[in-house]
Amino acid sequence: MKQKCKIAVLVSGGGTNLQALMDAEHSGIIHSGTICLVVANNPSAYALTRAQNAGIKTAVVTKKDCGSQEKFEQEIIRILEAEQTDLIILAGFMSILSEKFTRHFEKRIINVHPSLIPSFCGEGFYGLRVHEAALNKGVKVTGATVHYVNEIPDGGEIIMQKAVQVHEGDTPEKLQKRVMRLAEWKILPAAAEQVSAEILNQTEE
């Protein structure tokens, strides 16, 4: 019987969500899975340093080096399969994945998005843009969503959501930090544990 689900985290930037996941594993919030690999599509992503400091294996795959989206995805699949990855977590991964890739890992890829889907999501909605759109609309409540990844940006089945209040005088930066702290860093580890446990149950059946 498999003891733990092997998790790979795909990153592009600073790795604050990766840090939240590593902290959650360390504290026992994530106990059905273990982070075995961090893959970046940006060689200067600070997330790689975070992973290396924690003794986690890292890999870098860039579209530029691979020459095409197809070869880029093939190389990521090769690395993930070599590590016998069970669950893939997108943590600020700035690359849209094709249907071919998402179908290959059906119900095995999860992502965190900084809004309450279906609001402020889909193509073009990432990073501060999401929070700018929420403030421009005048919403009083925003939040974050963890969902399964399919070929439609932010279109997969929702796993978990958490609401966050919008405050008077919020800037996109202030709101982004509050959503990360109060929602993303809570529900991403919780969803990672939930999905890891489900994958383990499936392998036992």
Q: Among all residues, which ones are annotated catalytic?
A: 113
Cα distance between the two ends of the chain = 10
**Residue 169 CB-density burial (10 A; 0-12 exposed, 13-18 middle, 19+ buried):** exposed
Q: Which pair of structure tokens corresponds to residue 7?
A: 């998790």
In angstroms, how far is CA 180 from the centroid of its own chain?
A: 12
Burial 122-136 (b: 16+ CB within 10 A, else e): eeebbeeebbbbbbe
Q: How far apart are CA 128 and CA 162, in angstroms?
A: 18
